[in-house]
Structure 1
Amino acid sequence: MRLTRDQVLARALDLLDEVGIEQLTMRRLASALGVQNGATYWHFASKQALLEAMAEAMLAGVADGLDPVRPWPERLAELARRLRRALLSRRDGARIFAGTFFPEPNALAYGEAAIGILRGAGLSARDATWAVDTLTYYVVGHTIEEQAAARLPDGGGPAVARLAGALDPGRHPNLLAALDHIPAPHPEEHFAYGLELLLAGLRAKADGK
């Protein structure tokens, strides 16, 4: 029986969780599906096309059902948190998202919702678009770091110890003072802190329009 596109995509996402982005190949996917190498190209002309479909699948529902009554900063924060959860839902999800450009329904819905929120707050089309880019870059970059840190051995302890051992009190007094606050892995509060900084800037931008 011929595989459907949805079956190929679902297996690709599961395989991503199993082996990570570096080991995800069209050949390995075909093997995991039990089909001949090349059979997957009926549905995805290249690995890049497959990665775009995977990123689009991760965004399913991200922009749905935002409460229009809530203040705009709360709606934008909720959208950012949803994007982060979506990217964290799959191994290397943020790297998949960052490496693709896919004007597909879920991605377009995210952009439409985010830009609409900021235009509704009074920002120009340009400022709203660039602000959404900035917010998205923050979410994606932070999530890439989160996912990388999550794979560190022993909860990141050796990495922190290596950093501590490299610091010299005479040359790095500020890093030493901040050592307890350099996370590995990043806690939820770390993401929330950066998100609030961005929102504070956007509030000031909107208020000063």
Structure 2
Amino acid sequence: MSSRASAPGKSRAPAGISYTQVLAAALELLDEAGLDCLSLRRVAGGIGVHANTVQWHVGDKAGLLRAMADSLMADCTREPLPPDPEYRVRTLLQRFRSALLSHRDGARMATEGYSPVEPNTLALTEAMHHALLETGRDPRDAAWTSWTLVYFALGLVQEQQSSPSRMPGFHAEVFDLSGFPALSRTLPHLSGNDFDARFEHGLDLILGCPRGPSSRPG
């Protein structure tokens, strides 16, 4: 995101503070205090400037969230990707998930700050759609599969990053499941915290290559 894009009529940045510094301060505040405590004023206080200095670079809080969300996507396409398109899609989603997990409330922040035209986000979307088209999917299937993958990753990471009070889950000692025989059988798998395995399982299903436990490598 251009630091001037959200500040029409201003042609000169405040002396001594860069867009990169503002972004770094915002991400540091996110990690320290969480998304609910994020504000232009608190970001400004972290780097010893007035709020209007931060506002010059990002415009408003929505602009700050767009910049932060897009910054998370920078590493998703920076390194070389596998030549095989199916593995490329999987690698992109693994990097996307890692990016979301790299900061506190990363999934919530990325959802609130999502903008499809930001440079890093656009690069990730292009790489994803290109790989999906290379697998032989038609344009609609490629687009809708991309949506499904991204929404799945965002939702699972948000669950992983949420406090137990927000995501209480199922517990046998809390719920009487005597009238729910199916849930009684699946309960151990609903309350598990193996997010890595759940993520890989979801990718398998969405990409059309479901595997049972006995068929997984290693």
User: Which residue of structure 2 aligns with residue 67 of structure 1?
Assistant: 82
Structure 2, unaligned runs of 5 or more: 1-14, 211-218
| Correspondence 1:147 to 2:161 | yes
With over 3 angstroms needed to count, the CA separation of the structure-2 counterparts of 1:133 and 1:201, relative to structure 1, is: farther
User: Which residue of structure 2 aligns with residue 178 of structure 1?
Assistant: 186
User: Which residue of structure 2 aligns with residue 76 of structure 1?
Assistant: 89
C-alpha distance in 1 between matches for 2:82 and 2:154: 24
Instruction: For 1:51-62, list aligned pairs within 5 A.
Output: 51-62=65-76
With over 3 angstroms needed to count, the CA separation of the structure-2 counterparts of 1:169 and 1:136, relative to structure 1, is: closer
| Correspondence 1:95 to 2:108 | yes
C-alpha distance in 2 between matches for 1:189 and 1:28: 37
The 8 Å contact of residues 26 and 47 in structure 1, kept in 2 or not, is answered as yes
1:59 is matched by which residue type in structure 2?
M
Q: Which moved more, 1:177-186 or 1:76-85?
A: 177-186
Share of identical aligned residues, percent?
37
User: Which residue of structure 2 aligns with residue 85 of structure 1?
Assistant: 98
The 8 Å contact of residues 146 and 186 in structure 1, kept in 2 or not, is answered as no
Instruction: For 1:1-209, list aligned pairs within 5 A.
Output: 1-64=15-78, 65-68=80-83, 70=84, 72-102=85-115, 103-148=117-162, 151-152=163-164, 159=168, 163-183=171-191, 185-200=193-208
Structure 1, unaligned runs of 5 or more: 203-209
C-alpha distance in 1 between matches for 2:53 and 2:16: 9
User: Which residue of structure 2 aligns with residue 205 of structure 1?
Assistant: none
Q: Which moved more, 1:82-91 or 1:116-125?
A: 116-125
Q: CA deviation at 1:98?
A: 1.2
- What secondary structure, in the 3-state scheme, does the structure 2 residue paired with 1:200 have? coil
C-alpha distance in 2 between matches for 1:89 and 1:101: 17
Count of paired positions: 193
Q: CA deviation at 1:184?
A: 5.0
Q: CA deviation at 1:201?
A: 6.4
With over 3 angstroms needed to count, the CA separation of the structure-2 counterparts of 1:184 and 1:33, relative to structure 1, is: farther
Q: CA deviation at 1:165?
A: 2.7
2:204 is matched by which residue type in structure 1?
E
C-alpha distance in 1 between matches for 2:144 and 2:184: 35
With over 3 angstroms needed to count, the CA separation of the structure-2 counterparts of 1:187 and 1:131, relative to structure 1, is: closer
How does the TM-score come out when normalised to structure 2? 0.81
C-alpha distance in 2 between matches for 1:188 and 1:101: 24
2:111 is matched by which residue type in structure 1?
A
Q: CA deviation at 1:101?
A: 3.2
Q: Deviations over 1:42-81 (max 9, x none)?
A: 101100101110011111120231122x3x2211111111
C-alpha distance in 2 between matches for 1:144 and 1:49: 22
C-alpha distance in 1 between matches for 2:20 and 2:192: 36
More helix by percentage: 1
